[in-house]
Structure 1
Amino acid sequence: MFTEKQIEELNEAFKNLTPTEIIKKALEFSGDAVVTTNFRPYEAAILHAVSTVEDKIPVVWCDTGYNTPQTYRHAEQVIKDLNLNIFLYVPKQTSAHRDVVLGIPSIDTPEHDLFTEQVKLEPFRRAMEEHQAKVWFTNLRQGQTAFRNTIGVFSLSKAGVLKVSPFYYWSDDKLDMYLEENNLPNEFKYFDPTKALENRECGLHA
């Protein structure tokens, strides 16, 4: 378990290092690691960077069931191209059933909290419990939300897992170059049903 002071020291020491250097350092702490993805824009970068260092790392995909056709096609392409060790987690109730009894409720209502729990939080907890990861790679970046502006490259999850965001300080333009240099696809027709706004947290990270 890391202390807040140790996290601060890590963030200071690794602020200017490359994603590959950050990933390698994180794996020195523990080989029990996962990388999570929802195949939103620029996810191919984190999946490529982590799997290049550790090709058998479990890739956890919590699919809400509400992704666009473009996102599903993009996911299939990235999984195939990078030969990802993918683990798919879905809600216990189908989206068709939920659409009848609940739908996608308005934001900031108890019903929306239940919706978020069903389609995102419960599958994610199930995934983390099964993999028992001590290191969690994700593609959080500075500027995405107010909360994410405060965390740095290294942070701790609610459960005390070391959360690592190798591209934390990277801009969209820089990531565009990374994708082009590594012949990686991108897809912008993405829909997250738990968010009304792009800069709103869904509860997974904050």
Structure 2
Amino acid sequence: MSLISPDKLALFNQNLLHESPEAIVEFVLGLSSNPVLTTSFGKYSELLLHQVLQKAPQISVLWADTGYNTQTTYEHCSRLCDKYQLNLYTARPEYTRAHSEYLWGEPGLQNPNHLKLTEILKLEPINRAFEELKPDLWFTNIRKGQTQFRDQLDVLSLSPQGILKVSPFFHWTDDELEAYAQKHGLKLNLDYQDPIKALSKRECGIHFSN
């Protein structure tokens, strides 16, 4: 059951349009009893963690580790886990990287098995994690302008399962995010790559399926 009805989404989004991420986070946490935060440990990942953990330090932090992250991303993950003492839940595929490559090849849009690999390496582990965690609120760092699908969303949106998704930085630009990071002494992951998503303007599917 969703925390709010679809009819209320437009009103809430209108009210939150000019609110700070701090105000957005505080508002939605007041509605939730079991929130989760998903992260890729990508470029701006620390900003969302910094913002949410001030209000919910024990929140479950969900990461889908496909096995294809860069060394820098693994280092970034380790540093943030230590810094914030993250309650990290890592969702991993049932196949190792070597086994999946043997069966279906490497991820990439040129591979005819790419959609199958997306399902096996990212979507199935994430969906399994959501089934186990059963959140009623989902913090995510998606933003307007990233993909055509995300342009249709807003600060608040509903997943197909009715989970309330919250994107506190939804309307922020890269310049605004980088200024925020500099102000608060936060690190950016400048070597993040996602071969499952493959293209920056392509939706990998997580936000379709949850």
TM-score (norm 1): 0.95
Contact 2:61 2:89 in 1 (8 A): yes
Q: Which amino acid aligns with 2:46?
A: A
Residue from 72, 76, 80 that aligns with 1:70: 72
Deviation string 1:17-45 (CA, Å, 9 cap, x unpaired) is 11111011111111210000011110110
Q: What 5-or-longer segments of structure 2 have no aligned partner?
A: none
Tell me what 1:166 maps to: 168
| RMSD of equivalent CA atoms | 1.4
Distance 1:197 1:141 in 2: 16
Describe the shift of the 1:43–1:106 C-alpha distance in structure 2 as closer, same or farther (beyond 3 A).
closer
- Tell me the secondary structure at the aligned position of residue 29 of structure 1: coil
Tell me what 1:87 maps to: 89
Distance 1:193 1:119 in 2: 11
Distance 2:197 2:29 in 1: 31
Tell me what 1:138 maps to: 140
Describe the shift of the 1:108–1:155 C-alpha distance in structure 2 as closer, same or farther (beyond 3 A).
farther
Deviation string 1:102-142 (CA, Å, 9 cap, x unpaired) is 12254287621210111110111111111110000000111
Tell me what 1:41 maps to: 43
Contact 2:108 2:196 in 1 (8 A): no
Q: What 5-or-longer segments of structure 1 have no aligned partner?
A: none
Describe the shift of the 1:128–1:109 C-alpha distance in structure 2 as closer, same or farther (beyond 3 A).
same
Deviation string 1:60-90 (CA, Å, 9 cap, x unpaired) is 1111110011111111111111221111111
Question: Alignment length, in residue pairs?
Answer: 206
Residue from 54, 57, 65 that aligns with 1:52: 54
Describe the shift of the 1:70–1:105 C-alpha distance in structure 2 as closer, same or farther (beyond 3 A).
closer
Describe the shift of the 1:106–1:81 C-alpha distance in structure 2 as closer, same or farther (beyond 3 A).
closer
Q: Which residues in structure 2 correspond to 1:113-192 (within 5 Å)? A: 113-192=115-194
Residue from 195, 198, 204 that aligns with 2:197: 195
Question: Identity of paired residues, percent?
Answer: 40
Distance 1:68 1:172 in 2: 22
TM-score (norm 2): 0.93
